[in-house]
Amino acid sequence: MGEGRILNQQPDSHVPAAPVDLFVIGGGINGAGIARDAAGRGLSVTLAEMNDLASATSSASTKLFHGGLRYLEYFEIGLVRHALTEREVLLKAMPHISWPMRFVLPYHRDMRFEGDTPTSKLLRLFMPWMRGRRPAWLIRLGLFLYDNLGGREILPATRSLALRGTPEGAPLEDRFEKAFEYSDCWIEDSRLVVLNARDAELRGARIMTRTKVISADRSADGWLVTVEHGADGQREVIQAKMLVNAGGPWVGDIIHNTARLNSSEGVRLVRGSHIVTKRLYDHDKCYFFQGTDGRIIFTIPYEQDFTLIGTTDADHPDPSVTPECTPEEQDYLINFVNGYLKQDITRKDIVWTYSGVRPLYDDGASSATAATRDYTLKVDETGGAPILNVFGGKITTYRKLAEDALDLIAPHFGGLSDHWTAGVALPGGDFPVDGVAQLIARLKADYDFLDESWAARLIRAYGTDAWAMMGAAKTLADMGEHFGATLTAGEVAWLMNKEYALSAEDVVWRRSKLGLRMDEAQIARLDEWMQMRAAKQAASAAE
């Protein structure tokens, strides 16, 4: 396996080099998407992320590309239309890390719904005999809009299901006789971020992880951005013509404390928590469950042997407080699911939990659930050089957000090319949407020491780049040390060389979810190996 370049090697000088066009703060999906789009239009771009890529919100999503069916009840038609349109654009660009999924929405007549959506309030006002229930006609209308607002070429349409005697009905309580089945999509969220960052770098961007922005000083013609690199604390000053604040949960802190802007724009931090359990049913479809409080949750087949359940909505005022799935949130999700499934689950069935903070634009909504999921982009140039502040957004609309951001950025840079990202594959995604099975068979044939599940994992992670990652290996031994759960030294070297991984946590919880299958000793050995390899590379570079 080739050793490749050393990632994140930094200049020794504190003297600013020639200015870059764009300095992006934040290595989540919005920052990485903007960096990729900008680099592809010919701008010089530097991105700084204080931790690992996708280390906060962008690795803690429900892992769905979806239009947001429930947002129709808030009359957010534009948001839903954009998201629905984006689903198939994104599927075509990343068929290795995204794929279609069918969602089953059980219907029951006795559902009490006391939510605070505009739709529920109208129902209670004009149809009080419904006692807060979503009538079947309303669900059908919502799904009709869902099928037709954004257009479909790949995804199948909604259909009605009789649940008795079907695989979809088997896990559900017998009182559920009917369901509606519709289409949305799965996405490997943290891999999406990494591949956007990698593509940005391939197009000329500089990607710096473990690099904290200490200050950003504004003048009439640019910004002086001081960053601190990694554990050694080395500082560097970078000149930029424009700043992009894609700090996610820290967007407000960057506005007021880093860039020191006098801005009234606010962010509302909303925590979403998830639990992962043993596999709860045998089919590969997701359930969409409605709660009496007006909320919904999903139960999603996850990593072959597990079920992902989420999410909650709770205000989370302080971004410096690490979000965690609280015992109360765990119980909420458990009780929610137990209202639908025949076989109750308990906390003993939970194998992993995670929680993320959504940085929503503060629109004054009465509850965390009601706060808009749409994005808001604001350019501030009142005190000198421009800064673009990014609020909110859904992972489904990240590419469109980046396009809209570049439309706002373009007037500050002459001669930019037009939109280009729609349909352009991310690294490894240059194959047809229906070509995964063929790729798995090819990879297994070319590397006959791989079994079916191992080959499938590699194709789902790397797509056509799986061959470059495997290299000239003829046997399992050629891939180097085996850390467990099919993870080898050869693959980890690729992740360090090409995908910015620096620790075992980066590898087993963000570049993959192999942490679900590896024990503490295996993960500790992986981390030790990675640190030794990084030290050897650093020593070699210093010679």
Mark whether 454 and 518 lie in a shared domain. yes
Predicted pLDDT of residue 444: 98
- Classify residue 394 by its DSSP letter: -
Per-residue pLDDT tens digits for 365-374: 545 555 566 7
For residues 425 and 61, what is the distance between their CA atoms, to the nearest angstrom? 22
Position 94 in a domain = no
Bridge partners (DSSP) listed for residue 482: 488
**Same domain as 502, residue 479:** yes
Q: Are residues 236 and 138 in the same domain?
A: no
- At 217-257, the pLDDT tens digits run 999 889 999 999 986 789 999 999 999 999 999 999 999 99
Q: What is the dihedral of CA 249, 253, 256, 260, to 10 degrees?
A: -120
CATH number of the domain within which 229 lies: 3.50.50.60
Q: Is residue 428 part of a domain?
A: no
Residue 11 in any domain: the answer is no
Packing angle of the helix pair 489-498, 520-542 (nearest 10 deg): 50
DSSP lists the bridge partners of residue 161 as 179
CATH of the domain at 455: 1.10.8.870
Q: What is the pLDDT of residues 131-144, one digit of tens each?
A: 445 677 778 888 88
Quote the DSSP letter at residue 434. T
The confidence band for 130, taking pLDDT boundaries of 50, 70 and 90, is: very low
CATH number, domain at 104?
3.30.9.10
Same domain, 464 and 483: yes
Amino acid 69: pLDDT: 80
309 and 237 fall within a common domain:
no
Has residue 233 been placed in a domain?
Answer: yes
Predicted local distance difference test score (pLDDT) of residue 8: 45
The domain total for the chain is: 3
Sign of the torsion formed by the C-alpha atoms of 31, 51, 479 and 98: negative
Residues 173 and 285 both lie in one domain: yes
444 and 532 co-located in one domain? yes
Report the Cα–Cα distance between both ends of the chain, in Å, rounded: 22
Residue with tokens 């000083």: 217
6-63 pLDDT, tens digit each: 344 444 445 566 899 999 999 999 999 999 999 999 999 999 999 999 999 999 999 9
**What pLDDT is stored for residue 541 in this prediction?**
82
Element (H, E) at 523: helix 520-542
538 and 454, same domain (yes or no)? yes
- Based on the domain organization, do 166 and 276 belong to the same domain? yes
H/E stretch holding 189:
helix 189-202
439: enclosing H helix or E strand: helix 436-446
Distances (CA, A) of 120 to 68, 294, 350, 499: 17, 8, 33, 46
| 70: in domain | no
Give the mean pLDDT of the chain: 89
**Which residue, among 248, 245, 200, has the nearest Cα to 225 in the 3D structure?**
245
The pLDDT assigned to 247 comes to: 96
Range of the domain at 170: 100-187+268-361
pLDDT at residue 1 greater than cutoff 70: no
Is 390 within the bounds of a domain? yes
Question: Same domain, yes or no, for 377 and 507?
Answer: no
CB 497 within 8 Å of CB 7: yes
More confident residue, 317 or 522: 522
Residue 1 domain flag:
no
The rounded distance, in Å, linking the Cα atoms of 93 and 96 is 9
Question: How many degrees, rounded to 5, is the angle at CA 204 between CA 200 and CA 210?
Answer: 65
pLDDT of residue 15: 52
Q: Is 164 exposed, middle or buried (0-12, 13-18, 19+ CB in 10 A)?
A: exposed
Which comes out higher in pLDDT, residue 362 or 469? 469
Phi, psi of 164 (to 5 degrees): -60, 125
**How many angstroms separate the CA atoms of 38 and 47, rounded?**
11
Domain boundary among 361, 395, 420: 361
The identity of residue 262, as a single letter, is: N
Number of residues assigned to the chain: 543
| Nearest by Cα to 246 from 267, 262, 228, 277 | 267
How buried is 305 (Cβ within 10 angstroms: 0-12 exposed, 13-18 middle, 19+ buried)? exposed
Residues 444 and 459 in one domain: yes
Does a structural domain hold residue 93? no
Q: State the alpha helices, DSSP H only, in 77-154.
A: 77-93, 118-126, 136-148
Same domain, 250 and 393: yes
Q: Does residue 2 surpass a pLDDT of 60?
A: no
